[in-house]
Structure 1
Amino acid sequence: MRKTVVILASVALTGCAGMMDIKGTGYVVEADPGYVALSIDNLKRQLKDPESARISGVYTVKTEYTGDTVNVCGLINAKNSYGGYTGSRLFAATPTVVYIERQVIGGSDYEAITNNNYVITHCKLRDGERHVFLPQYKN
């Protein structure tokens, strides 16, 4: 039993270390303000308390993984079901898809790892690329 726990823990930690090594392929692009607003609205709809959302550091990016799709990326801090703020987390959003770092909706650790990988691969900029933050999302 102990051997199984040690092996599972080692595998889990190895997977987390691999996430940090993901090379950024993103490049900043301009996006239609309406597209950005729809993406942010979709992001807020995923929250327990949408009105509490504090969104900052928003930028729009394309990567080799997204093709023509533009991801709206940034930081979100919102209240959880206990009424406390969760702390800033990275997010990637489009009008139809939302991924939030460390968010587990269905109670699955696999889902949390999947969300982390998605956010990193779809928002991490390539070397030398600079963020261009959208001024309307400063708070």
Structure 2
Amino acid sequence: MKALAGITIISAALLAGCESGDIKTAKETVASELRDPESAQFRNIIKTKENEWGVVTVCGEVNGKNSYGGYVGFQRFVNSPPSNRVYMEKSWLTFDDLWDDNCSNS
């Protein structure tokens, strides 16, 4: 039983390191936009197919801590790793259009 638990832990660790370069870059860029980058929690990360210009977009949700040390809740983001431009749901008035154009049909 201990051997099975050990194999499971090792497998999980190896799979965690198999993140694509675009997703890893996007997570680093998005985290850098937060007040406490080390607190970033991600979920529902998707990588779109390359568009006609070869650009990939990474979409997902991020949660981070505020200045009081409490998590503020998940918000959606859109990032294109080549440009490193981050669009956060709570910061862009036209975010829903951006999300629909880049992330909804992925």
Name 1:61's counterpart in structure 2.
Answer: 48
Provide the C-alpha distance between the structure 1 equivalents of 2:77 and 2:54, rounded to a whole number of angstroms: 19
State the superposition RMSD in angstroms: 2.3
Is 1:122 equivalent to 2:102 in the alignment?
A: yes
TM-score normalized by the length of structure 1: 0.53
TM-score normalized by the length of structure 2: 0.67
The letter for the 2-side match of 1:86 is V
8 Å Cα contact 1:63-1:122 kept in structure 2: no
8 Å Cα contact 1:60-1:72 kept in structure 2: yes
Work out the percentage of aligned pairs sharing the same amino acid: 33
Count of residues in correspondence between the two structures: 86
Which stretch shifts more, 72-81 or 47-56? 72-81
Shift of 1:67: 4.2
3-state SS of 1:83 partner: coil
8 Å Cα contact 1:38-1:94 kept in structure 2: no
Stretches of structure 2 lacking an aligned partner (at least 5 in a row): 1-18
Query: Does the C-alpha gap of structure 1 residues 47 and 63 become closer, same or farther in structure 2, counting only changes over 3 Å?
Result: same
Is 1:49 equivalent to 2:36 in the alignment?
A: yes
Shift of 1:81: 2.5
Name 2:74's counterpart in structure 1.
Answer: 88
Name 1:99's counterpart in structure 2.
Answer: 87
Higher RCO structure, 1 or 2 (CA under 8 Å, sep 6+): 1
Q: Deviations over 1:27-85 (max 9, x none)?
A: xxxxx812221111111111110111110111111486x74211111111111223221
Stretches of structure 1 lacking an aligned partner (at least 5 in a row): 1-31, 104-111, 130-139
